[in-house]
Amino acid sequence: MYFLKIGMADYDIHLSQAKHNEEVAKKLVKEPPCHDWGITAAFYAAIHYFECWLFNRAEKHTETSIPVGEDRKFLYTPHAWREKLVETNLSKEAFKSFRKLRDASETARYLSFHRIHPGDKPSWIDKPAPAYFSPEDAIKLVEKVLNSFKFELGIKI
């Protein structure tokens, strides 16, 4: 039998990881064609900033506050539960900023976009994530949207 020990980062660790991810994001968005990964780094900065904010609330951590069913299984995924916490505890602006970063990072990483079915057979087109998101899009997501989320959390920009 294996026991999984999950080390929960405390406030300071979340904050330092958030800052690190943000720095990486700022660098990557200014280095096309790597700017798409800047969006993902920005999303993971947003997650850590939020977990930092949540640490002093009743929930403390997203993962440890997910409701469970009678069978003790999680009812929701961590992402879904975190978004519920963002939506119910923060402003609409904060919610939109967080969701915008998550959705963009999902598209940038998985890019189901480039797998298109023009006919009966799947075909691949030569337009990966760096072409879907312009460098300007990525810079805006990092410098404007992430900053907006931080502002709503009360974190000094």
Interface residues with other proteins (CB under 8 A) are 69, 73-77, 79-81, 83-84, 87-88, 92, 95-96, 99-100, 103-104, 106-107, 110, 112-113, 115-118, 122, 127, 132-134, 137, 140
Q: Which is nearer to other proteins, 13 or 107 (CB)?
A: 107
Task: Please give the radius of gyration of the chain, using alpha carbons only, rounded to the nearest integer.
Answer: 18
**Which DSSP letter does residue 116 get?**
E
Q: How far apart are the first and last CA of the chain?
A: 46
Q: Which is nearer to other proteins, 7 or 118 (CB)?
A: 118
Contact 71, 96 (CB under 8 A): no
Contact 115, 46 (CB under 8 A): no
Task: Provide the minimum distance between the beta carbon of 122 and other proteins in the complex, in angstroms, as a whole number.
Answer: 7
Task: Provide the minimum distance between the beta carbon of 18 and other proteins in the complex, in angstroms, as a whole number.
Answer: 22
Q: Which is nearer to other proteins, 9 or 89 (CB)?
A: 89
Give the tokens for residue 64. 């440890």
